[in-house]
Amino acid sequence: MTATLTREPQHVGPLATRLNGILASRGIDPATAIAGEPPTEPVTALELADGRIPARYRRALASHPQITAWAEQTAEAGRPGPGGPGIAEGRSLLITGPTGTGKTHQAYGAIRALLGRGVRLRWEGTTTADLYARLRPRAGHDTERDLQTLARSPLLLLDDLGAAKASEWTEELTYRLINHRYEHLLPTLITTNLPTRELRDALGDRVASRLAEMTERVILTGPDRRRRTAPSA
Ligand SMILES: Nc1ncnc2c1ncn2[C@@H]1O[C@H](COP(=O)(O)OP(=O)(O)OP(=O)(O)O)[C@@H](O)[C@H]1O
Ligand SMILES: [Mg+2]
């Protein structure tokens, strides 16, 4: 899928910031790009998504066979639409493994694989700790609406489930989020460091039971990849 954006010099606004970044990554100075001049190459959905993917995972490639199979199946199941196939109801993945085994990398790799296959994808991604911070009730902010946005998103990446400190409030919130996705068969990518039993203790039985039914478990093993490479950032 390609975006139908006209390139204008020095675009302004959040989408424009991303577009300027894409132009810059192609070695084109946005300030000197000529308004109305047709782009040499169309801007792809994958490039547009880059700005929403954390920098560390911007080039992530899903390599685990269960994850590539999931991306392939999810892309093929997509509903036809004017801008390319959309994401449909489907399976979810629970990516588990110790620290640094590449769970988040594989999850963003899966999203990139869908975008690369031209799936017209609306997706949301958050760590659970950020989710709880974002949804904490506060004056002047409609947190219920934020919860609905995440719950209804056609694809959701819920990173580090079970890592944040639990309370009755976090349990209820996680339950509402997971239950909505469970009931509506919405594809969800979940990563966690916790083994099954600890996940159940951390999230409560109602969430654990739904996850057992709605997700395929992907187990990553191996050393902490962060400690194997020389630090770069
Ligand atoms: N298949 C891969 N190829 C290259 N680099 C990888 C791969 N998988 C992971 N990495 C790199 O290894 C590091 C750890 O990966 P990642 O953050 O995905 O681990 P994680 O399992 O999510 O860890 P945590 O449990 O702490 O959240 C990152 O720098 C990531 O970019
Ligand atoms: Mg991670």
> How confident is the model over 116-173, as pLDDT tens digits?
888 888 899 999 999 999 999 888 889 999 999 999 999 999 999 999 888 999 999 9
- Band (pLDDT 50/70/90 cuts) for residue 8 is very low
- Band (pLDDT 50/70/90 cuts) for residue 9 is very low
The CA 107 to ligand 1 mean position distance, Å, reads 10
Which has the higher per-residue pLDDT, 180 or 40? Answer: 180
Q: What's residue 3's pLDDT? A: 42
Tell me the C-alpha distance between 62 and 103, whole Å. 10
Give domain status of residue 183, yes or no.
yes
Assess whether 35 and 62 both reside in one domain.
no
In short, whether 68's Cβ falls inside 6 Å of ligand 1 is no
Q: What share of the chain is helix, strand, coil (3-state, %, to 5)?
A: 45, 15, 40
Give domain status of residue 48, yes or no.
no
User: Directed axis angle between helix 205-214 and helix 168-183, to 10°?
Assistant: 30
Give domain status of residue 49, yes or no.
no
Burial per residue of 214-232, b for 16 or more beta-carbon CB atoms within 10 angstroms, e otherwise: bbeebebeeeeeeeeeeee
- Band (pLDDT 50/70/90 cuts) for residue 79 is confident
pLDDT at 178 over 90: yes
pLDDT at 65 over 60: yes
The CA 14 to ligand 1 mean position distance, Å, reads 28
Assess whether 26 and 80 both reside in one domain.
no
Q: What's residue 20's pLDDT? A: 60
Domain span including residue 131: 57-228
Tell me the C-alpha distance between 53 and 138, whole Å. 27
pLDDT tens readout for residues 49-62: 666 899 999 999 99
Q: What's residue 86's pLDDT? A: 75
Atom of ligand 1 nearest to the CA of 99: 25
The CA 137 to ligand 2 mean position distance, Å, reads 26
Q: What is the residue with the minimal CA distance to atom 15 of ligand 1? A: 102
Strands 188-192 and 155-159: parallel
CA 84: distance to chain centroid?
19
Lowest-pLDDT choice from 2-6, 29-33, 84-88, 157-161: 2-6
Give domain status of residue 156, yes or no.
yes
Assess whether 37 and 76 both reside in one domain.
no
Give domain status of residue 51, yes or no.
no
Assess whether 90 and 186 both reside in one domain.
yes
Q: Which residue has the tokens 């999810």?
A: 74
Q: What is the residue with the minimal CA distance to atom 25 of ligand 1? A: 99
Highest mean pLDDT among 17-31, 60-74, 77-91: 60-74
Assess whether 109 and 13 both reside in one domain.
no
Assess whether 153 and 82 both reside in one domain.
yes
Assess whether 102 and 134 both reside in one domain.
yes
The CA 108 to ligand 2 mean position distance, Å, reads 10
Stretch 89-118: mean pLDDT, rounded?
Answer: 95
Q: What's residue 5's pLDDT? A: 39
Q: Which ligand is nearest to the CA of 98?
A: 1
In short, whether 103's Cβ falls inside 6 Å of ligand 1 is yes
Mean pLDDT across the chain: 84
Give domain status of residue 233, yes or no.
no
Q: What is the residue with the minimal CA distance to atom 10 of ligand 1? A: 102
Q: If 0-12 CB within 10 Å is exposed, 13-18 middle and 19+ buried, where does residue 184 land?
A: exposed
Which has the higher per-residue pLDDT, 19 or 183? Answer: 183
Q: What's residue 15's pLDDT? A: 57
The CA 156 to ligand 2 mean position distance, Å, reads 15
